[in-house]
Amino acid sequence: AGMDSDYLQVRGLSVEFDGFKAVTDVDLTLLQGDLRFLIGPNGAGKTTIIDAITGLVKATGSIQKSGVELVGKKVHQIARLGVGRTFQTASVFEELSVLQNLDIAAGAGRSVWTMLRRRPTEIPEPIAEALETIGLQDLRDTPAGVLAHGQKQWLEIGMLLVQNASVLLLDEPVAGMSHEEREETGNLLRRIGGERTVVVVEHDMDFMRAFATSVTVLARGQVLAEGSVAEVQANPKVQEVYLGT
Ligand code: ADP
């Protein structure tokens, strides 16, 4: 990677819970434009890895974003460095409109005074752009609580975009979605992928096949295989894990 391109480099990442090794010595290199899927059986350590990257669990080893070490930093510091995540259950402000949710996300770190002074009719460019990217322009004044399941997930992604996240970690973004919503989510990930790095923890193999640019397969807290969809599918170790042992 060139000096000016964004990347995430994970080296020797380990996480222990009371002596239990949930993640052991994991290396990952993610480049700008990657739409990387993390797959593996339940308990493989996928969520723990994104928890470690975002500072939610204590880890050893190194996680660098464009050369800046994240291990040891606090959750809000890591977020401010442009690493954003979603959870399996979308966390949006249900009472507030789509626009207000985006506004609050964009305002994180700004003073309340600055927020209050803004005229509510003017939509700042980054928010207008995010609204268009997530396809919710027509629903901008709708309370987030009445959005469809898929739309809530897209709003959450929009909230990361207005926070200028350049690394997005998405935990099972299409769980519970209809077929159409999955397609739309995949297209959304492609749209936002270009200048960013997107990591998707996912169980849906059809979704992975359709949209992953690369795949890391985890098993028992370790990297079992890595490569293109075709490469990991052809890997006998991966087939063994998925077809039963
Ligand atoms: P995955 O996301 O691949 O399903 P997880 O990262 O959630 O796997 O979990 C990896 C392992 O770590 C599992 O055995 C899980 O039970 C364990 N684990 C996860 N979080 C904790 C925790 N907070 N305390 C103890 N064990 C945990």
Residue 184 lies in a domain: yes
Q: What is the pLDDT of residues 91-137, one digit of tens each?
A: 899 999 999 999 889 886 555 555 556 555 678 889 999 999 999 99
| Residue ranges making up the domain that contains 163 | 7-243
Q: Locate the ligand 1 atom nearest the alpha carbon of residue 41 and give its number.
A: 3
Residue 12 lies in a domain: yes
For residue 48 and ligand 1, the question of a CB distance below 6 A is answered with yes
SS3 state at 44: coil
Element housing 236 (H / E): helix 236-243
Q: Locate the ligand 1 atom nearest the alpha carbon of residue 221 and give its number.
A: 10
Residue 182 lies in a domain: yes
Residue 107 lies in a domain: yes
Structure tokens at 25: 């010595």
Answer yes or no: is pLDDT of 151 > 60.
Answer: yes
For residue 47 and ligand 1, the question of a CB distance below 6 A is answered with yes
C-alpha of residue 59 to centroid of ligand 1, in Å? 13
Quick one: three-class SS letters along 51-105?
A: HHHCCCCCCEEEEEECCEECCCCCHHHHHHCCEEEECCCCCCCCCCEHHHHHHHH
Residue 2 lies in a domain: no
Element housing 23 (H / E): strand 20-31
Smallest CA-to-CA distance from 158 within 139, 176, 132 is with 132
Count of the separate structural domains present in the chain: 1
pTM of the model: 0.91
Reading phi first (left if > 0) and then psi (alpha if -120 to 50, else beta), residue 162 is in alpha
Residue 203 lies in a domain: yes
High-pLDDT (> 90) share of the chain, % = 79
Q: Locate the ligand 1 atom nearest the alpha carbon of residue 18 and give its number.
A: 25
For residue 23 and ligand 1, the question of a CB distance below 6 A is answered with no
What pLDDT is recorded for position 1? 42
Q: What is the CATH number of the domain that holds 101?
A: 3.40.50.300
Is ipTM over 0.90?
A: yes
